[in-house]
Structures are given as structure tokens and as C-alpha cells.
Structure 1
């Protein structure tokens, strides 16, 4: 992946480009000390003079505000629809607000000295200005002063909003600081570079901060100031940087240098302009679609760049962008290559499940690997920012809504949830997951809530989604992609980096189980319900997370953990297909394998081929294989197979318990209830007994589980075994040496 660079043939200004920004995906506005406001088009790089600024107004920064309904993305870009309000700051401490016809609506004196940064807030309700006088102010959209949030003696070089506008990031000398806007909140400040910090950026989706300085390095930080990456020293100072709107890429600019990096810091490619001196790059900004960048230089030249050679791989297919409107699709096995030309610029594209889905500026093209020459075209879909492929459907996310399509081009669902339209712009790949027949979306306003949609035709949850409530905020959700329709599982990671799992068919009362700790990210296999997760210095594979989650012993038996020291740092999960897991570390790709027999075993489970599964385990004689079989067979009431599997795993207590269950009446209520207890489904066991008029057995079950209040309720409601409940409660308290505290039992004393 790299930038293809264009530049203006001759500088339109003898001075440095002081300010530059995207109006939309095709138009760029710039201004310099010649007091002229210019508009450039990216297609032919033509120059149009838009307005003349006052002679005493020397511009220092520029930023567009989007119309209502769109969002500002990235630290300097703007949305695909045309912008209508322009903020320009000056070197004498003033800022002006221009409307779309270039008429000055407000002219405000804000600082004593140059305004180094002026930025509209992400929601467009206000703006910030930061000056060389060491002051940062927040203003209303009409230019009225709201507050002064930072006031120091030192000079401020740059300032940016946080993605949710709850804090302000700024740099001062060698320090970077985060100032929350909440009352009585503490300032977070750390020494970032050896010399002056010249530029900063805050990523929308990954919540990471980038800084560049005079020490010729750029660094990546988390929001608390912990260093995540430090680059090698370049020849010259880093003068500008910016995260792409989706947070996946970072563009870094310096003297005669433009670098394309991964958000974690490592470099994809570097462009050096050694044949002619163009100077240092300033005000480096991305377009809202994340495919183009622009920057002004110290010599008055404007740099344009778009991404090419972005590559995706899936099984036997490899897709590579060779230009703005061209994709090369290769079949590695058949050794064939197809060139796909589009009439419009390519914005987003994804490859998987035998299909290539490409979003251009006005259309979406669906290619089947068997019918490459006859794509299905969906018209009218613009501003696509996320494409997620599933086995049956795929998701398109634009600035206003989510759209679920089948691979035949038919609109399947337009899911909505409370306040969904205002939350769509904040969605990213970590908070949306598409499964076999399930869609899970993490709520943005309350990040402890997950909305679960059923995608089966005619399902009630297509319009009225279930909600899962967690105790803490969530950072990632993932739905499995394979298995039977009744065995669909959702995993999620919270802010404490704990991993939880629940069955998506278990609504509205979802039972949540914790199966892991210290997880950075997780990924389901595309072919089986096997889960892989990354920790800080190792990775884990859960071979049966769904069925084994109710028993910590089974989770331990069906999970393997391996060290990742040999792969290096900054590891990311790329793909998980079949038995191969693809990892990427600092640009290098590594492939690891999960146990092949476990993948085969999962396929046999889907086919209900229990005898073949048992023969496979007897042949291989592997403990993880036996434990996986035990968990699966136990859930599906295959008592004989489950007993043999637990015996092979040396789980003697479970073997004895299964022997007790087998002695009960076959397929009777008591046997079904005991099997539910063994699988951790306590409420289900009680319902089975009560629905079959087994009241005394239900009371005994509640006493055995120490569910005292429930046992008392059943006894009082059915007017039976009340004395037994009171006696057992008395024995329990006597054994613990405690006094009665339950008010329901105290009444009966």
C-alpha cells in the first residue's frame, strides 16, 4: 500500500501554504499570505479563486463545517457532502466565519498573537481556537465566547478536539496534554519529545494519539499518555500528521517526505521528493472517504495523494487496487487475473465468502468469483464508510443508516434502534458484527448496551431488537459465523479487557459467562465456532467457547495459549479461515494453525454425525478433542458419548453424575432437568420440573442449589413441603453459624 502523488505544476503562491482543508471529497480550499482563497479540484487539480481576504488578514488555519446530518471526520477532513461554513484563523489573533458564498458572517478578535489552530467541534455546535498566547478558547457556532479552558504562559503549537468532543488535546513545548471539559477533571500531561512538539492528531476509532516533533520522530500514545510506538529518527523534523477517518491509517509529513503508516505506527511506504525541493509539508489532511490526502508546503506547492496497491486476500482470491478506478482480481489457484474497471472512484471494498463488494462514489458493485464479468450493481448508495461481509448477507454503513443486502443485490433489512441515526457516524468495525443470521451493534450513547437483531425472514427481532446490558463499557463485539442456527454465540470485550460470551438465541434474558481476561481483540473462524484472541504477549484459541462456557473446567480444557514473542510487537488479527489464522506484526504477515481435527469435529457437530465424531476422537486420542466432544455431546443430551468423553478427560465427578442421570427415567422431566443443571442452565431445569408438575422435585432442586427464596416461593404457592424448606434452612444456618436475615423466613418464624 502506498500513495500515488500529484502536485501543482507551479506554486500559486511564493509563500508557504498557511491553511488547507477538504470541502468535500473532490474539492480543496487553500489560502496563504497573498490573502487569496483558492479552490482546487482533485481530478484535474485546476485552480479557482474564490474570494479575497482583507489585506490585514494573514491566514494561519482553515477548517470546514459540514451541513446538518453529516459529521466531521478525522482531525482535518470533512464529509462527502458539500460543506457550507468555513472557519479561517489569522496571525493577528482574529478568526472569520464565511458562508458558502464566501461572505464574512463573523469577524472576531480572539487572541493576542497568532491563532495556531481553529477547529469546529465534531458535532458542529461550537469551535475551539488556540493561540500563541498560551490560551485555548471555546466559542459558539455564531462566534460567542463560551469558556477559556486552557490558560498557560507557554506557547501552544497545535490543538485538536477529542473524537467525542469531551476533551481537548494540545501540545506546548515538548509536552502533550489532554484537558477534559468536565468540571473538576484533572489535566493529563506528559513529556512527548526531546524537542518541540510540532503536530498532533487524535484518532476517531482507535482512541490513540499521534505526535510529531523537532526530534525527527513521531510517536503513538494512548489517551492516558502511555507510549505505544516510537519511530526511528528521520532526517528532518516531523511537521504534520493526521489519522484517516476510519482510524486504520496514519499519514506523516516532513521535509520532502510523505509517509503512509498503520495506525499502530509501523510504515506501509514512504515517498521522498528528492528530485526537486518542495519543502516541509504542513496541514496534512485526509478526505472523508479515507482514500486521499492533501498538504500544503513551505514552497507554496500543494501535494495531492491517493492510495493504491491496497491488497486483500481471501482463500484463493487476491484483490489489489492499481488505480483510483481499477482493481486487479487474481485467482491464485487457477492462475487467472481479471481487471475490473469502474466509471467512478473506488471508496471502499471488501473480499470474502466468494464475493468482492466494491463501493464507488455513487454505486455498489457485487462480484461473484464464479461470474466476475456480470456484477450486480446497486445504485444510489453514496458515502459508504464501512463494508462488512457475512456468509449470507453484507452490511453497508453510510453517514445516516445501516443497510443489509443479500449477495443478489436485494435489500434485506434497514435496522434501527433508539437514537440510531445520531449514532451511525460513530460506528466502526469494533462495534458492529454480522453473524450467520444475527447482527450485533454496540450502542454509542450507552456503551454498555448491545442491540441484537435477528436476520431470519419474518423474525420479530428484525424490527424490535433485543438488548444485552453489561456492567461496564464495551470496546468490541463479535458474533460467530458458522454452526447451527440454534448455536449462535456473541462475545464481547469490556474496558477491563475481560472476555464474555452469551448465546444470541437466549433473549431476552441473556446469560453471560466470562471466559477470558486481558484480551486486546478476538476473531471467530469463518468456518467453525472456534475463537482466537490476542493478549499483550500471547494468543489464545478457544476450541469450544459456546458449549463449554458454563463450566470453567471445560473452558480450561478446551483452551490453548501460546507465546507471541517470536512475532514481535503491535500484533493484529488479519483473518481466520479454516485452520489458518493470519497475524500481522509491524507489516510482516505470519500464519499460525489451529488443530485440524477440532475443525473437522465442529463440522461433524453441525451434521449431527455423533458416531463419526466419536470414532475421530478414539483415533486421535487428544485431550482437547475429547473435551470439545464432551461439551458438545453434553449440551445435546448425548449421554453415552458425553460419559465416554469425560472419562477420557479424567473428569471423574462428571462421569459419576452422568451415571446418576442415566439411571433416571429416559427422556423424563427429571433426567432433562438434571442434564440442564450439568450444562449450567439452572432456570431451565426449574421450568422443566414445574411444567411437568414435579413440584416436590423442583423444591428439592432449589434447596440443592441454595436458592432459598425461590424454594420458599414455590412451597407457599403450591402449599406443599413448607416445613421441609424451613428445616433445611435452619440446618443450613446452623452449619454456617449465622442468624436468619431473610425477611421472608423471619415472618414464618
Structure 2
């Protein structure tokens, strides 16, 4: 990937303080106030007090307003109402400009000053709207940070000391503020009674900060010639090599994992892990230090203000996606090269509008321009299907049957024929759309998973099967901790759909999107710890995850999730010391996992026998699956076959597989299952119970109207409350169940030599004692 830059305007202005006879000379003021008002328009202002707008359409700049002569701007930030930064609010867009005399002004879209407020006793170094659009912060050289309402009313003073604040930025969720003083960086949570986090970050002054909306990490640049990356607790994740000059600006891309770093005459495009994609050096003419970097809302362009007063616009090219035999590379702002690696043929696709995003997979290329979506089939590359009216596409995700688009207004799921399949909505979804990222969404084979932004512990699951009720009534799954990353499986059958997620504690969980009977399920199983990233295979239900210094492959994460023994047998963990640090998962297609480390692609093969076994199981070829296991003779193969066969009620095959995996207890249990009536509710429930799926077993018995057996199951599991609940619910048809539950509870307490303590059982004990007394 490379940066292509263009110097848009030499900002030469007249020095108003020069003597009259020298007024014909022009000087260059530093350009430190630059921001996008839309994806085509840039506003910038310098010490000449004039606000200019540069248009990408006309390629020229015009003056739109003039500030007072005593107002010297230090920062500029647009609040784009109705766009990403505002949380979907209504109203006209608003511009915030701060000055070196402690004032800030709020202007409307037509550049008319609505409020002018004296906020600080010294220069304001940062003035920033919050990501949710509810307010703004001002940080000054008087060591004070204040939070204001959107209309300019003071809400609170969150930081107050004597050391000057050089830069301040909001957290992506608007609940914290990061700021720098001297060589230190501090994070101030806005919650009541929360403690300030402060650490020594650079050897010299910290000059710039940026907080990523994608990865929740912080970048800093300092006078020690280095840029560094930190997590939200202040732990160092990356430290760059020393550059030739101080790092004057850093900026994370709002939509992708890119970090742009600016220093003297140099722009560097990096991955959010720190390694560099490409550098753009400016020598003739010299542009000086980059004081301001501002990405456009769609993340495709960046505006840069320099110390010599130049406005530079850059955009990333040679972005590359690879899927099997296809490789798509962006050649310019309006063209993409699609190459078939197998045949060596290449087609250059030109578009009438600027390319905003593109996705590749399953034999299709989906390209989003500013107002259209183009769908290419690799077999019919010259006849794309075009969808009109899709503006500002932020995320494209492709799956086997559908592809998903997240734009500025909603989420859309299309078939590859261009037909709209689903426009999912859930409570509060419209307000959350601008704050969603690609980490909040996952498109599976037949399910769409969306993390709720207002409650990050909540996951909404939409059915994509035509006619399914959950297309417009999603099933909500609640985790114990906030969700950091989600992934819906991309293969399987309609009954074998799973979703995996990593929570805030970096623990990995798996849940079914529906069980074999098609019912909703809320069961969540933990299968891993200390995970950074996960990805499902493209054609099988195999999962790969990256830890700090190793990676793991789960060959049976779905069917075996409820059984720790099966998970242990089917999980392989390998060291990544030879790869290096900061590994990410690029793709997982067929049996090849591709990792990326420091820019290099590192393909790794998973167990080929497991890949072939999964494909055989998807097609129901049980005898073929047995042959594969006998040929491979590996415990993970047999355990995978055993878990899938048990779930599908293939008891004979399951018994052989468990026996080969040396699971003798399960073999004995299977022999007991064979004594039950084949395919009966009792046998199917016991089968589910063996896999550890107690809720599924109970559901099978209740649907089969086996009430006595359902109560007996709860009693066997010592689930006393559930046993009492079922008995009370069905006491009209089964009056003997209540006495049985009470009697079993009494035996249990007698064995423990304890009195009754459960408030649900106490009324029954009191009633029984009263009856005995009356007799």
C-alpha cells in the first residue's frame, strides 16, 4: 500500500503586522487547523484569520468567512451532524474553532458565528467535539480541560493543574479523555470517582495524540523522534525506530487499521500495529513539519497542514485483497486491477466515481463508489450488477451467499444478484449506525451478528434464511463482559451455525445461533483465554485465534464447545516466536491460514485430514468420515467425529470414535443410550446431555411432553429450582411430581445434614410441617 499526495494550495498571505511599505511581501503562516466538512470539502484556517474551503470537485479553494483580527486559531474541528461523528443527530453541521487567547467560537454551516466563549486563561491547544456529538472539550496551556454542551454551556472541569496541556482527544465511546503534559500521557475517565491513569511516554515533549475508533488504542508522537502505540491502560504496544526529526502529528484512520504519522518533510502510512506500509518524502519543494492530519469520514483521504502553510491531500492506493485465485489491487482513486493468479489474466476496472471501499471473496468482487455498488462475478467480469443510491459505504463483508454493506444510514444485506435480502433493525439501531465499525459486525453463512453499541454485552443475531422469523425479530444474546470482537461461522448447515466472540477480558466464547430443533439458545461456552483475534475458516467450522506469543486452532469449536474434554482434544496451540510480534490474521481459506506480521504474509497449513473430515461431515458422508479418521489416526480427528456424530445421533459411529479417542466413560454411556427407544425424545435428550447441553436436553423432553423425564433430568443435575418450576407448571396434569421433588430435596438435605435454606422451597416445608401438626 502507498500514499499518493497532492499539494493543493500554497497558503501565502500578507503579513498584517508588517510596515505599510513592506505590505507587498508575503509570508507563510503555519497551517495547523485543517478538517473535512464532508468527503469532498476541506476547511482550513491560519493566522491570517481567513477561513478557506477547498473542494475536491473544483480543485480550488475559496474564502468562506473571516475571523476577528485578534482571534488567532489553534484548532479546528467539524461536528458532522447526521454523520459518523454525531451519533445520528439532526440539525445543521457545526464548526468549532479555538484560539490562542483562550476563546473558542462555534460556527454553523454557513460560517456564521453562533457562540463566542472565553474558556481559558491561556491558549487553547485542543478543541474537539465528542464522538457521540453530545458536547465538546477544550484543553488549554493553563493545565485545564473543560467539557461543554453542544450549545456552549460549561458542564464540568475534569482536569485542573498548572502544567500546560499540549493535546487532548476523546475516547471513541466518549467516556474518557486522553491528554499529554510534558513527556507524560494521562487518561481521565469521566465516570464518578474514577482514577486518573498517568505514565511517562516519551523522553521529550509529547506533541500529538490519536485514539483509534477501530482498535481502542492510542498513538503518540514526541520530540524524541519516535511514535508509540499504547493500549487504553497505558501499556506500550509498539515503539518506532527514531526518525530524523520530531513526530509532530499522528492520526488513526476512522474506518481501517491505518495510522498516519507526520514529521518534517515526511508522511508515513503505518498499520495500527506500528509497522510501516509506505513513506512519502517531500524535498523539492520542502513543505516543513506536518502540524495537522485529518482523515475524511469515509477513511479514504487525508488532509495535511504544514508549517510552511501548504495544504496537502493524500489518499491510499495499492490496497490489496487476495481470495484463492483472485487478487484485487486499487491502482488509483477510480480504478481497481483484478488479476486471476491461476491463469495470469488481468482486468483493469474503471469507475466513474471515487472508489470508497471494496471486498473480495467467494468468486465475487464488490466495489463501493461514492454513490453506487458494483458487483462483479469472476466468470462474468465485463457485466457487473450495479446498485444505485448507496452512499458513503464504510464496511463491506462478503460471505458464501450474501454480502453486507454498512453505510452512513443503515446496514444492508444483498444477494450477489443485487437483490436486497435484509435491512436489519433493532432497538436503538438508527442512533448507533454512525458508531458501528467492522469489529461490531460479522456476516456468517446464514446469520448476521451485530454488537449493540449502547450495551456492548449484547449481541443481536439475525436469521438470513428466507422466511425465518428472526429476520426482523433478532435473537439477543447477552455476555457477562463487554464484547471486543465477534465472528459468525461461514460454513456448515442451517442447524450448525455458531458465533464466537472475545470479551473485554480476552476470553473466547462460542454459542449456537440455533439448536437442532431450530429453537433459540442462550447457552454460551468458554473455550479459550488470552485471545487477541479470531477467524472462522471459509468452508468449514474450524476456528483460528491469535494469542500474545502463539496461535490456536480449534478443530471442533461448535459441537464440542460444551464438553471441555472434546475442546482439549481438538485444540492445537503452536508457538509464533519465529513469526515475530504483533501478528494479525489476514485470511483463513480452505486449509491455509494467512498471518500478517510487519507487512509480511505468512501462510500456515492446518491439519489437512481435519479439513477433509469437516467437508465429509457437512455432506453427511459418515462412512467416508470413518475412513479419514482411520487413515489419519489422530485424537483430534476422532474427537471431532465423535462430537459431530453424537450431535447428529449417529450412535454407532459416535461409539467407535469415542473408543478410538480413549473416552471410555462416554463409550459406556453410549451403550446405555442404545437400550433406549431409538430416536425417542428420551434418547435424544440423553444424547444432548452427554455433550453437556443440558438446556437442549430439557427442551427436547418438554417438546416431547415428557414432563416426568424433564423433572427427573433436573433432579439428576441437582438443578432444584428448575425441577420445582417444571413441577409447579404441570401439577394439574402431573399431581405426583410436586411430592416427588419435595421428597428428593429432603433426601438431599438430609445427606448434607442441613436445614432448608432456599426461599423457593421454604413455603413447601412450612406447609408440610403445618399439615403434620394438624394431623
> Shorter-normalised TM-score: what interval?
over 0.9
**SS of equivalent to 1:604:** helix
Alignment check: 8 A CA contact 2:513 2:521 kept: no
Match for 1:464 among 473, 478, 481?
473
Distance, in Å, in 1 between the alignment partners of 2:575 and 2:3 is 35
Q: In structure 1, what is the equivalent of residue 590 of structure 2?
A: 578
Q: How does 1:213-232 map to 2 (within 5 A)?
A: 213-232=222-241
Aligned partners of 2:286, 2:541: CA distance in 1, in Å? 55
Deviation at 1:155, TM superposition (A): 1.2
Q: For 2:458 and 2:447, locate their aligned partners in 1 and report how far apart those are by CA, in whole Å.
A: 16
The change in CA–CA distance for 1:713 and 1:339 in structure 2 (over 3 A counts) is closer
> 1:608-629 deviations in whole A, cap 9, x for unaligned?
1111111221222121111111
Whole-Å Cα distance in 2 between the matches of residues 47 and 182 of structure 1?
Answer: 43
Partner of residue 535, structure 2: 523
Change (3 A) 1:620 1:157: same
Aligned pair partner of 2:269 in 242, 260, 268? 260
> For 2:609, which of 594, 597, 612 is the aligned residue?
597
Q: Does 1:406 align with 2:415?
A: yes
Aligned position for 2:21: none
Inter-partner Cα distance in structure 1 for 2:738 and 2:39:
74
2:687 aligned counterpart, secondary structure: helix
How many Å apart are 1:340 and its aligned residue?
0.3
Q: Which stretch of the first structure deviates more once superposed, 112-121 or 235-244?
A: 112-121
Contact 1:24 1:83 in 2 (8 A): no
Name the SS for the 1:602 alignment partner: helix
Question: After the TM superposition, which residues 423-442 of structure 1 pair with which residues of structure 2 at under 5 Å, given as runs?
Answer: 423-442=432-451
Q: Are the equivalent residues in 1 in contact too, given 2:10–2:311 (CA < 8 A)? A: no
Question: Structure 1's 667 and 180: CA in aligned 2 closer, same or farther, altered over 3 A?
Answer: closer
Which residue of structure 1 aligns with residue 512 of structure 2? 503
- Give the superposition deviation at 1:703: 3.3
CA–CA distance in structure 2, aligned partners of residues 689 and 132 of structure 1: 69
SS of the residue 1:299 aligns to: coil
Matches within 5 A, 1:225-244: 225-244=234-253
Please name the residue that 2:43 is paired with.
Answer: 29
Deviation of 1:639 (Å): 1.1
Q: Give the match's secondary structure for 2:285.
A: coil
Contact 2:249 2:261 in 1 (8 A): yes
**Relative to structure 2, which stretch is displaced further, 178-187 or 669-678?**
669-678
Q: Deviations over 1:563-619 (max 9, x none)?
A: 111111111111000000010112111111111111111111111111111122122
Question: What is the CA deviation profile of residues 163-210 of structure 1, one whole-angstrom value per residue up to 9, with x for unaligned ones?
Answer: 122222111111111122222221111111000000111111211111
After superposition, give the CA deviation of every residue in 1:42-69 in whole Å (9 maximum; x if it has no partner): 35631212222222222221112223x2
Q: 2:156 aligns with which of 142, 147, 168?
A: 147
Query: Does 504-513 or 473-482 show the bigger shift?
Result: 504-513
Q: Which residue is 2:6 aligned to?
A: 6
Q: How does 1:304-453 map to 2 (within 5 A)?
A: 304-453=313-462
Is the CA contact (8 Å cut-off) linking 1:42 and 1:304 kept in structure 2? no
| Pairs within 5 Å for 1:65-80 | 65-67=79-81, 69-72=82-85
Q: What 5-or-longer segments of structure 2 have no aligned partner?
A: 14-27, 770-775
Deviation per CA, 1:410-437, whole angstroms, max 9, x where unpaired? 1111110000001111111222111111
- The 3-state SS of whatever aligns with 1:139 is strand
- Provide the residue aligned with 2:61 in structure 1: 47
Q: Give the direction of change, closer, same or farther, for the CA distance of 1:582–1:83 in structure 2 (3 Å limit).
A: farther
Q: CA deviation at 1:354?
A: 0.7
Residues 243, 250 of structure 1: 8 Å contact kept: yes
Distance 1:245 1:557 in 2: 41
- 2:558 maps to 1:543: no
Query: In the superposition, relative to structure 1, how do residues 143 and 272 fare at CA in structure 2: closer, same or farther (>3 Å)?
Result: same
Matched with 2:579 is: 567
Residue by residue, what CA displacement relative to the aligned partner does 1:356-392 show, whole Å, maximum 9, x if unpaired?
A: 1111111111111111111111111101111111111
- Structure 1 contact 7–303 (Cα < 8 Å) conserved: yes
Alpha-carbon contact 1:203-1:247 (below 8 Å) kept: no
Choose the corresponding residue for 1:175, options 174, 179, 184: 184
- 5 Å matches for 1:645-656? 645-656=657-668
- Cα 1:418–1:712 shift into 2, 3 Å: closer
User: In the aligned structure 1, how far is the partner of 2:262 from the partner of 2:92?
Assistant: 26
Equivalent residue for 1:741, pick from 741, 757, 770: 757
For 2:77 and 2:435, locate their aligned partners in 1 and report how far apart those are by CA, in whole Å. 20
Mapped to 1, the partners of 2:135 and 2:748 lie a distance apart of 63
Separation (CA, whole Å) in 2 of partners of 1:694 and 1:302 = 75
C-alpha distance in 1 between matches for 2:765 and 2:233 = 51
CA distance in 1, matches of 2:703, 2:53: 74
Contact 2:688-2:697 within 8 A present in 1 as well: yes
Show the counterpart of 1:732: 748
Q: What count of residue pairs does the alignment treat as equivalent?
A: 743
* Partners of 2:628 and 2:701 in 1: CA distance: 36
Asked whether the 8 Å contact 2:84–2:297 carries over to 1, the reply is no
Give yes or no for contact 1:454–1:465 (8 Å, CA) kept in 2: yes
Q: What is the RMSD of the two structures over their aligned residues, measured on CA atoms?
A: 2.2
- The residue that corresponds to 1:121 in the other structure is 130
Query: Is the contact made by 1:403 and 1:411 (CA closer than 8 Å) also made in structure 2?
Result: yes
TM-score (norm. length: structure 1): 0.95
1-structure distance, mates of 2:118, 2:103? 4
By how many angstroms is 1:2 displaced? Answer: 1.2
Change (3 A) 1:83 1:226: farther
- Is the partner of 1:409 in helix, strand or coil? coil
8 Å CA contact 1:24, 1:82 repeated in 2:
no
